Structure 1
Amino acid sequence: MANLKDILYKVKLISVSGATDIAIDAIQFDSRIVGAGDVFVAIKGTQVDGHEYISKAIEQGAVAIVCEDIPSDIHPQVTYVQTDNSAKALGVMAANYFGHPSEKLKLIAVTGTNGKTTTVSLLHQLFMNLGYHTGMISTVQNQINNAVIPATHTTPDALQLNSLLKKMVDSGCNIVFMEASSHAIEQERMAGLKLAGAVFTNISHEHLDYHKTFDNYIKAKKKLFDDLPSDAFALVNVDDKRGMVMLQNCKASKYTYSLKMMAIYKAKVLSNSIQGLELNIDQKDVWFRQIGYFNAYNLLAAYATAHLLEEESEEVLMNLSQIELKNGRFEQVPNNAGITAVVDYAHTPDALENVLQTIDNFRTGNEQVLTVVGCGGNRDTTKRPLMAEIACRFSDRVILTSDNPRFEEPEAIIADMQKGVPVSQVRKVTNLPDRKEAIKLACSFAQKGDIILVAGKGHETYQEIKGERSHFDDKEVVREMLSLIHNK
């Protein structure tokens, strides 16, 4: 129970009709779950406009409405609050309702096309090892210390997010690392939060189904940095040409990291093998368990963030070197067939090229690289041919398959991917919409010493088809098929 006047603190108001000094039971933006005594926030979403459900919310007991457009049919017992951005208002209201949990700990947001989950996971594990009570909000899962809370979105909605942060505060967390997706930033899910810092990893082709243009996608990421307070830090990867763009008009203290250019935080890759990475960071040579050049950036970002949070360099490096993540990023599947089987979340052209380039660096040339890859349905279609072209460029055999086709036909998605297959490489490509059968085929083609990459799902343990999610774990299927085929 809270007072509407208190909940509206710092919300940009255009007009108010009715009393604000009234008790509110809960804040809702989904009319289906509005109850007696609630305030309903009508949000103009990409699929649904909450303004169309104001009458329904009132019928179900809403005593106050927050909206951008005041309806013509005014209910005399209901308070109407007009604002210019209902989504932003919801974030501010949620922060007020839950007692501003983000102000009671250090909240660090990580954004970028690739590397968000790994960087956040590294930081969460690192700070737990350093003795902190630590929270994590990520695509893979949310955690309060070691306790796992299942994740439904890359960044939860504003109500879920503040509720989760309050739980973290109540559990004694003093620092939280979270992924910040471009959708969440643009949809104002993080409005009302106080950030202690933000990290930019990189940006490449992704989410154009939502943002429409690459420029809009960049602007969404940049908004995170534009909104940082002056007492926060902004840390960006300047090897990405948009890194410095993120710092334009940013009020926070500015820091950079790089493997190639002049930067405040620098690292050099000394060795890169299937066993791990050796990096020179801060004049110290350190071996890490993570694999691949792209992980050198994630490790450097984690190190720089810890340093900006005033942790001692040697202790940070020692603890980082001991962390082994199993989060569906270049995760190897043990087997007795002498085959290197890798599962990776790569679902963008840039991420797929990073993983296959890493494999290419390891290979001797005497083995086959077999890649199983698909593209998600009802998502950015322009990346599909790019994904297929990259797979063909680095692989000896390519199997195009399903990856959460959602409400699209898998064959139509694969047909889009086929447009990127060079004419000279058509013979190396097989289309097989059934993902399990595609993995089975790759395992049957593979011989001792070969390398299988199953890309796109990584940590996910489901396949989404026609609105239904069924259990599907790439690691389980790879393990099962390699055992079935090679242990006869």
Structure 2
Amino acid sequence: MISKNFTSKSQKITLKDLLKNSLPEISTEFADIGSIPNSDVEITGVTDNSKEVYPGNVFVAYHGERHDAHQFIDEAIERGASSIVVEKEQPPKDVPIIKVNNGRKALAKLASSVHNHPGDKLKVIGVTGTNGKTTTTAMINHIIRSQNKNSGLLGTVHYSINGIKMPAELTTPQAKDLYKILENMVENEVEYLTSEVSSHGLKQDRVSAINFDIAGFTNISRDHMDFHDSWDDYVKSKAKFFQMLSPESISIINADDNHFATFADKTLSKIITYGIETPRAMIKAKNIKFNNFQSRFTLKLSEELPTLGNKPIDPVTKEVIIPVPGRHNIYNGLLALTSCIVAGFDIDEVIKNISNFPGIFRRLQVLKKKPYTVLDDCAHNVASMEAVFNTISELPFENLIIVIGVRGNRGKETNKENSSILSKWIQKLPVKKLVITTSESHAAPKDQVQKQELEAFLEPIQKNKFPYELISDLKKSIKCSVNSAETGDLVLILGPYAMDKAQNFV
């Protein structure tokens, strides 16, 4: 039975055995683990949050982005921590102290050990990239479940075990939670795990104790600059995914992306390439057509492909229908199809399964078709906005009504970039009405739009002298947009976070 919060009971393990399972990967200081004082103490769990320490827990202290957890060591001991893992030298305490080079990686390795190394008991497909992760992983999970296989999913919209869903707090869970969830999947006889792998999760080494069988790359463009120190830091975080793969793993990389070589050159794994434009792609989409919110194309495998079962796939040509529109969804579909074929599923069954993919929340989601159409998408960066506008430019409609949310807590530059894309497309498409909202009524405190962010967003639009309505209340902004629609019009809802509630008012 799946527990309410996807937690599970960890095994009984002593500190000595826990360290044996994790060293020397996290520390080379202890040649003789038995010499550590009180190493026979039973460990009840691992955490990096001093306020969540329970008696018998290992507390892992490291220097984070905002806080240095070493200052909370005494609090952790007071709450019952049986041992402490640190990055910095500490004065003697009443419990064992183990010094490591990388506290975050130690946390992942220790959490994996406490929970019986669950990642080793699953066939794991991971997908990273700036855009497309959520749709691609949902497609993969849908195909696997259609094959009557037990499956788990970790992603932005939700986590699921054998189809039972739970809200997702983070795209990639924190390490202290991730391995609990994976163990719960193992206990529920999950065979395949499909996971989005975020740049945050990679930079913070959350997934470093998982051996990925298949690693997919969608694309990369500017995003999360509020978290990463620079563009180079963002790219390096993504590339880390492919550096951690073994020679037995298989990478599936978008050959059309300008940064293809950055990822392909960093891995020891086998490499499969996919794409639409470049001749170097081993798997291509040809004869692309869009009709009635569907995408049709010819799938061409131009050369033999490696698989997890070491039984290669011969070159072949097949016709594919994906029931979601857009060129970007062709890329998502190519990656999903390839992942499942490489995992060992029959190609004809995979193509059949993806043809009834139900779509996903706020990814060009059709909310209404008649008498006017309403589309909802969480586009929140330059690349995702370009993808949405490119898609709707090929759809039949009379006039376009746009309601878009400004991004709070993302700074001036991101908002100005997004607005510049919006302004460009306003000049190309028959836009009848533009409504801009700060969603104050529904945005979380941390996502409230600041004055300078709003000013940056409005600047390109005002420069082009396009009329707009600025409405702070989300419900009123949606009602204003929908009430302006006439037969044949298209209403487009755009933006992340608080805009997730917009569907309630259509």
Aligned residue number for residue 267 of structure 2: 250
Give how far 1:230 is off. 1.2
SS of aligned partner of 1:13: coil
Paired residues of 1:154 and 1:179 also in contact (CA < 8 A): yes
Q: Does residue 437 in structure 1 map to residue 476 in structure 2?
A: yes
Aligned residue number for residue 289 of structure 2: 271
Letter in 1 for 2:291: S
Aligned residue number for residue 481 of structure 1: none
Q: Distance in 2 between matches of 1:256 and 1:357?
A: 24
Write out per-residue CA displacement over residues 59-107 of structure 1, whole angstroms, 9 at most, x where no aligned residue: 11112100101223x22x2100000110000000011111111111111
Paired residues of 1:67 and 1:83 also in contact (CA < 8 A): yes
Q: 1:36 aligns with which of 33, 47, 55?
A: 55
Give how far 1:52 is off. 0.9
Q: Does residue 104 in structure 1 map to residue 154 in structure 2?
A: no
TM-score of the superposition, structure 2-length normalised?
0.87
SS of aligned partner of 2:331: helix
CA pair 380-102 structure 1, distance change in 2 beyond 3 A: farther
Q: 2:390 aligns with which of 337, 340, 357?
A: 357
Q: Does residue 4 in structure 1 map to residue 18 in structure 2?
A: no
Give how far 1:380 is off. 4.7
SS of aligned partner of 2:436: strand
Aligned residue number for residue 295 of structure 1: 329
Give how far 1:36 is off. 1.9
Aligned residue number for residue 309 of structure 1: 343
Moved more, 375-384 or 27-36: 375-384
Aligned 1:52-91 pairs, distance under 5 A: 52-72=71-91, 74-75=92-93, 77-91=94-108
SS of aligned partner of 1:427: coil
Aligned 1:67-466 pairs, distance under 5 A: 67-72=86-91, 74-75=92-93, 77-262=94-279, 263-282=281-300, 283-334=317-368, 336=370, 338-363=371-396, 367-395=398-426, 396=431, 397-402=433-438, 404=443, 406-407=445-446, 408-421=448-461, 423-424=463-464, 426-457=465-496
Identity across matched positions, percent = 29
SS of aligned partner of 2:466: helix
Q: Distance in 1 between matches of 2:387 and 2:492?
A: 12
CA pair 416-406 structure 1, distance change in 2 beyond 3 A: farther
Paired residues of 1:101 and 1:162 also in contact (CA < 8 A): yes
Structure 1 gaps, min length 5: 464-471, 479-488
Give how far 1:388 is off. 1.3
Letter in 2 for 1:447: E
Paired residues of 2:124 and 2:192 also in contact (CA < 8 A): yes
CA pair 111-380 structure 1, distance change in 2 beyond 3 A: farther
SS of aligned partner of 1:119: helix
Aligned residue number for residue 482 of structure 1: none
Write out per-residue CA displacement over residues 167-219 of structure 1, whole angstroms, 9 at most, x where no aligned residue: 11111111110000000000011121111111000011100111132111111
Structure 2 gaps, min length 5: 1-11, 31-35, 301-316
Give how far 1:335 is off. 6.0
Give how far 1:111 is off. 0.4
CA pair 331-247 structure 1, distance change in 2 beyond 3 A: same
Paired residues of 1:342 and 1:452 also in contact (CA < 8 A): yes
Aligned residue number for residue 33 of structure 2: none
Give how far 1:13 is off. 1.6
Q: 4+ runs of 1 displaced by more than 6 Å?
A: none
Paired residues of 1:376 and 1:406 also in contact (CA < 8 A): no
Give how far 1:411 is off. 4.2
SS of aligned partner of 1:343: strand
Give how far 1:401 is off. 1.4
Give how far 1:14 is off. 5.0
CA pair 321-206 structure 1, distance change in 2 beyond 3 A: same
Q: Distance in 2 between matches of 1:430 and 1:149?
A: 37
Q: Distance in 1 between matches of 2:369 and 2:249?
A: 46
Q: 2:505 aligns with which of 473, 477, 488?
A: 477
**How many residues are paired up?**
461
